[in-house]
């Protein structure tokens, strides 16, 4: 059962340069350009870049195309792909002056189109000078999360010329364990209650909740699924309790998830994507390929 393609439009932000992808910057820019011309270009969001990478990214974006020298004889001539759409994604703890400098540099350069700046939530975050249409604030876990969401909602109400969103980490780092289904359900419900759009980042490589190896040779790890998350946002918007949202995130059978999402009317689907605008994925083709395999999305015709 296929789902409306609009439900996945610009859902997958390209986090190729971040772990575990760790793609070299020139490779990431070239691949992002290729994806932006491909069959799934409507599904791919901007390229996420750390502040320190912005100066080099500006020069790479100024090249018409980046081509592997081995393919030079068979590749078409370089073409101007227009400004490179980017998001400046700063991890919590990144010095403010570094984020401000990168944002000002990118906003003044026609070779890139900054779509957002992502920062960590800390004291005084709202005073950072960020020339960007959208400011995304990575929220903490635990008791401080409600305060962070309240501050984001307040900033959005006081500054209508700038869009604000929250971001929550759904994967693990050295200092951040995998969030359980209950914790993620609570975070989604909290953002919906505060009318704060919530982006996600990390760990969302698969279409459906399951146990997957993080890397070849590694032990399998339970990971959240993209369809589960979409359905969980729909459940939260419908006023379902945390227990029901959690059950949706725990579902490992794609059938009920797809059936529930297919029942959304266009207004509800648009509202869902307003609540969940996008998420960062280091290999955006992985979840898209799984969605095609499930016949949720149409693949390229041969």
Query: Residues, the chain, total?
Result: 302
223-245 confidence digits (pLDDT tens) = 999 999 999 999 999 999 999 99
* Residue 36, domain member (yes or no): yes
> What pLDDT does 119 receive?
97
Percent above pLDDT 70 for the chain: 91
Domain encompassing residue 138: 5-66+80-293
Closest of 107, 78, 85, 2 to residue 41, by C-alpha = 85
> What pLDDT does 9 receive?
97
What CATH number did the domain enclosing 93 receive? 3.20.20.70
* Residue 57, domain member (yes or no): yes
> What pLDDT does 64 receive?
53
* Residue 180, domain member (yes or no): yes
* Residue 202, domain member (yes or no): yes
> What pLDDT does 145 receive?
97
pLDDT tens series, the chain, 302 aa:
689 999 999 999 999 999 888 999 999 999 999 999 999 999 999 999 999 999 999 999 977 554 544 444 444 444 556 899 999 999 999 999 999 999 999 999 999 999 999 999 999 999 888 999 999 999 999 999 999 999 999 999 999 999 999 999 998 888 888 899 999 999 999 999 999 999 999 989 999 999 888 766 667 889 999 999 999 999 999 999 999 999 999 999 999 999 999 999 999 999 999 999 999 999 999 999 999 999 999 988 65
* Residue 74, domain member (yes or no): no
Rounded distance, CA 28 to CA 70, Å?
17
> What pLDDT does 194 receive?
97
Give the count of domains, the chain: 1
> What pLDDT does 213 receive?
80
* Residue 72, domain member (yes or no): no
* Residue 223, domain member (yes or no): yes
> What pLDDT does 71 receive?
45
The string of DSSP codes covering 245-287 is HHHHHH---HHHHHHHHHT--HHHHHHHHHHS--EEESSTHHH
Rounded distance, CA 43 to CA 286, Å?
13
* Residue 252, domain member (yes or no): yes
Judge whether 282 and 19 are in contact, CB under 8 Å. Answer: yes
- Predicted structure pTM score: 0.92
Tokens 């898209």 sit at which residue? 288
Percent above pLDDT 90 for the chain: 81
> What pLDDT does 72 receive?
42
């Amino acid at each position: 059962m296929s789902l409306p393609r609009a439900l996945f439009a610009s859902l997958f932000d390209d986090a190729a340069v971040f772990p575990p992808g760790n793609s070299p910057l020139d490779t990431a820019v070239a691949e992002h350009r290729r994806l932006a011309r491909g069959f799934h270009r409507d599904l791919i969001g901007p390229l996420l870049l750390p502040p320190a990478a912005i100066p080099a990214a500006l020069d790479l974006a100024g090249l018409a195309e980046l081509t592997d020298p081995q393919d030079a004889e068979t590749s078409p001539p370089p073409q101007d792909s227009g400004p490179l759409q980017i998001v400046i994604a700063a991890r919590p703890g990144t010095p403010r002056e570094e984020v401000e400098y990168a944002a000002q540099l990118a906003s003044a350069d026609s070779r890139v189109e900054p779509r957002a700046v992502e920062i960590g939530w800390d004291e005084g975050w709202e005073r950072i000078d960020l020339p960007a249409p959208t400011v995304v604030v990575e929220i903490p876990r635990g008791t401080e999360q409600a305060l962070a969401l309240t501050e984001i909602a307040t900033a959005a109400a006081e500054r209508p010329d700038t869009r604000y969103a929250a971001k929550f980490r759904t994967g693990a780092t050295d200092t951040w364990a995998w969030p359980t289904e209950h914790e993620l359900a609570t975070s989604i419900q909290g953002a919906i209650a505060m009318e704060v759009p919530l982006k996600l980042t990390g760990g969302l490589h698969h279409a459906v909740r399951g146990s997957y190896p993080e890397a070849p040779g590694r032990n399998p790890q339970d990971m959240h699924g993209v369809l589960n998350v979409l359905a969980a946002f729909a459940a939260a918007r419908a006023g379902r309790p945390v227990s029901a949202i959690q059950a949706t995130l725990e579902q490992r059978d794609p059938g009920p998830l797809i059936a529930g999402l297919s029942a959304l009317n266009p207004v509800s689907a648009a509202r869902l994507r307003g609540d969940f605008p996008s998420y960062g994925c280091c290999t955006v083709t992985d979840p898209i390929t799984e969605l095609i395999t499930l016949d949720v999305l149409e693949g390229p015709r041969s």
